[in-house]
Amino acid sequence: MFIRNGLPRVAATILPLALVAGCSSLSPGDGGKEHRIVVGTTSAPSSLDPAAAWDGSWELYRNVFQTLMTIPNSGTTPEPEAAKDCEFTDSASRVYRCKLREGLKFSSGRPLDAQAVKHSFDRIASIDAPSGPAALLSNLEQVDVRGSRTVVFRLKKSDATFPFILSTPATSLVDPMDYPRATQHPGNSVTGSGPYTLKDYIPGKKAELVKNPDYKGSAKVRNDAVTIRYYKQSTTMVSDLKGGRIDVTYRGLTPEQILEFQDATTTGDTSIDLSEMTGSEVHFLVFNRKDKQAAKPAVRRAVAQLVDRKKLVREIYDRTADPLYSMVPAGITGHTNAYLDRYGEPDPKKARKTLRDAGIFDKVNLTLWYAKDRYGDATSREFAEIKRQLEDSGLFDITLKSRPWDTFQKGYLKREYPVFGRGWSADFPDADNYITPFVGEKNAVGTPYPDRKLTEELLPYSRRQSDRGAAGQSFAKVQQTMADDVQLLPLWQGKVYVAAEKDIAGVEWAVDASVILRVWELYKKSSW
């Protein structure tokens, strides 16, 4: 739920109704003035090809590509987007049919038809990029086409979450002429059918988006153009916000900057409006069983018994995050405090006994890796604190290492790191998406997590339940299993902060249930 200037979200629900009625005033022909928004972020795309990225690149994909389904402002149940309607046609949740809207076309002018949809899905598996989302579609057996507008998806196993998957940017629809079946799309261009077209793109610098006049979908675009500027340092981004060079910041604010904006508001400075949202982003450690020490369950459990999450969020993140004791964050149906139940509060004596019972009497040498430019400037201090906590127990000798995101990602996909930090923003708001991407031989963190009880029993059973609330009991057992094994160690759950110049509106609707910024919701009050 958003908290904007202390107002509950229910008070803001009147806003979109008024906006829809007035959207015609956003035309560039209205006085000849273009209504452009400039957004700053520290999360730059790693690729412009949806088949090649399962990361923050989705921030851009959401705005330039379409998906068959989408998660609406008002709920967490998928609704049609490029599709006119979709439904399971069997009782086992294994056959899913979608019928496309009429008149869809790509920015190239070519039609977006059923064959283009099939091509978009087939190429993900065909390319099978190491950093791509192929694993998210591993349950898809085949895609059939019926006429020009109907697509039928056949699944290997029952999966009630499939409509959610169709709402993710992993399933972005691409033009077959520009996106080859077996190779990645070259260059810095995009051919999509989303709310915007990509006019210009400079990697690591900026993306220029222009309203797509041919877009047909559920989004109501409230501006004419958006410039997204990518920053290496949040200090530069905030300086540009204060200086009026950008209108909005999304991702990358440090705790100190958040507190500064909050303090300014209490003293009467209303030039910057800070919006806060309970986020679904989780941060955790990944243990690589290929490493001699990280492969030992006792070592992983000892780390779990020593890490003080409350101190992390208090001293490093100034309470702008919450301690997390499960891979499923609070606020998502199925969440439990499995790791707290299993290990309790930090206890060096318990950790020592865990190691001694396993025959480990010498200090354990571990190297912890993190991305130094991905999750904000506080990351280095976070890992320094984890190092201090582990070493103060007298049980560990920790080495810290870091790399820029691009090389860091390549390293963990090659399984180079004994232990490393990752952040995760859900593909869709369901407990399954905080667990399934990280288990099995092939997963989103590149570190095999073989566990047949998880992959062949508990998770498949939960996916057969169309009532996602009823799947909570299965997820409770899943989290207990993961807490006992500790190949993944949850640390904290982030809150989402969006800082915007006071004349910017629409922020309260701009962040979707997967914590992705939908820039079409943003507009300037002065131009409305």
Query: Measured between alpha carbons, how far is residue 169 from residues 117, 188, 414, 424 in Å?
Result: 13, 18, 25, 15
What is the pLDDT at residue 75?
74
Answer whether 0.85 is exceeded by the pTM: no
Cα Rg for the chain, rounded, in angstroms?
23
The first and second tokens of residue 351, run together, are 């950790």
- Contact assessment for residue 306 and residue 298, using Cβ atoms and an 8 Å cutoff: no
Cβ(253)–Cβ(499) below 8 Å: yes
As given in the structure block, the two tokens for residue 505 are 């509106």
297 contacts: CB under 8 Å, gap ≥ 6: 358, 485, 486
Of 454, 432, 514, 480, the C-alpha closest to 325 is 480
CA distance readout (Å), 44 to 175, 193, 216, 275, 518 = 23, 21, 27, 22, 15
- What is the rounded CA–CA span in Å between residue 526 and residue 74? 26
Return per-residue pLDDT of the chain as tens, 528 residues. 322 233 233 223 223 323 333 333 343 434 456 799 999 999 899 999 999 998 889 999 999 999 999 988 877 789 999 999 999 999 899 999 999 999 999 999 999 999 999 999 999 999 999 889 998 898 999 999 999 999 999 999 999 999 999 999 999 999 999 999 999 998 899 999 999 999 999 999 999 999 999 999 999 999 999 999 999 989 999 999 999 999 999 988 888 899 999 999 888 898 999 998 877 789 999 999 999 999 999 999 999 999 999 999 999 988 888 999 999 998 888 899 999 999 999 999 999 999 999 999 999 999 999 998 877 678 999 999 999 999 999 999 999 999 998 899 999 999 999 999 999 887 888 888 899 889 998 888 989 999 999 988 888 888 887 777 677 778 889 999 999 999 999 999 988 899 999 999 999 999 887 788 999 999 998 755
Report the alpha-carbon distance of residue 326 to residue 449 in Å, rounded: 17
Tokens of 417: 């790191």
Detail the DSSP E strand segments found in 318-378: 321-323, 364-371
Residue 21's pLDDT is 32
DSSP class of 186: P
Mode of pairing for the β-strands spanning 523-524 and 504-505: antiparallel
pLDDT, position 32: 52
Is residue 111 within 8 A of residue 105, CB to CB? The reply is yes
CA distances from 266 to 443, 450, 470 (A): 45, 51, 43
What's the rounded Cα separation, in Å, for the pair 423 and 430? 17
